[in-house]
Chain A
Amino acid sequence: IQMTQSPSSLSASVGDRVTITCRTSQNIINYLSWYQQKPGQAPRLLIYGASILQSGVPSRFSGRGSGTDFSLSISSLQPEDLATYYCQQSYFNPRTFGQGTRVEF
């Protein structure tokens, strides 16, 4: 299954609303997760089931979508959100990740 994540990078300012999209080549219903990875760190789960916020994740993060089209939004970008974000499908084996979106200031 192919994952197409866009954009590959974006530049934004503190307080901006940011949206990242992820498209899958097949219907994955809502078996879609989003991860945040900061430089030198392991990935961190943000959202699963396309829209369910993982415990402890700030509410400015949200996810939506179903089928083949998904998005991750950050309502008000904070300095600590500087990171690369990945989508991942868990409906089919093998599991697959998007190419990543680097968020810069």
Chain B
Amino acid sequence: EVQLVESGGGLVRPGGSLRLSCAGSRFNFSTYNMNWVRQAPGKGLEWISYISNTGSTIYYADSVKGRITISRDNAKNSLYLQMHSLRDEDTAVYYCAREGSRRYFYTMDVWGQGTTVTVSS
């Protein structure tokens, strides 16, 4: 079964840093663009970052720009999200999601189970 598994979440103080990981399995990871999407408690889904399959194209949401860095290691079938200067409002479940090709209208067809980040003093 195609799978994405996030890890790295936890409790961090305001201003702190955290690195999230997402491991892909049973698909050709290097051929897929990837996204990070988060969901604050009781809120909706918020897209926060995109990276192309080669890593050459990257986008960030304005709400996190300058505070997060997306990266990937195709040799390890892994996606990462480095977060700095964390704020209370960054508290959320963070999901990685695979993006299908243009043939599939770039839909997010596979999602991980999510990892929880709690920013609190």
| Residues of A in contact with B (beta carbons under 8 Å apart) | 30-33, 35, 37, 42-45, 48-50, 52, 54, 84, 86, 88, 90-91, 93-100
Are A49 and B107 touching (Cβ within 8 A)? Answer: yes
Closest CB of chain B to A98's CB: distance in Å? 8
Are B107 and A44 touching (Cβ within 8 A)? Answer: no
Please give me the residue from chain A that is nearest to B97 by CB atom.
A43
Which residue of A43, A49, A91, A95 contacts B104 across the interface (Cβ within 8 Å)? A49
* Chain B residues, CB < 8 A from A52: 105
Are A97 and B109 touching (Cβ within 8 A)? Answer: no
Q: How many A-B residue pairs have CB under 8 A?
A: 71
* Chain A residues, CB < 8 A from B114: 42
| Residues of B in contact with A (beta carbons under 8 Å apart) | 35, 37, 44-47, 50, 59-61, 95, 97, 99-100, 104-109, 111-114
List 20 interface pairs A-B (beta carbons < 8 Å), by A numbering. A30-B105, A32-B105, A33-B108, A35-B108, A37-B45, A42-B112, A42-B113, A44-B111, A45-B107, A49-B105, A49-B107, A50-B105, A84-B44, A88-B108, A90-B107, A95-B50, A97-B45, A97-B47, A98-B44, A99-B44
* Chain B residues, CB < 8 A from A94: 47, 50, 59-61
* Chain B residues, CB < 8 A from A37: 45
Which residue of B44, B60, B107 contacts A86 across the interface (Cβ within 8 Å)? B44
* Chain A residues, CB < 8 A from B105: 30-33, 48-50, 52, 90
* Chain A residues, CB < 8 A from B50: 93-95
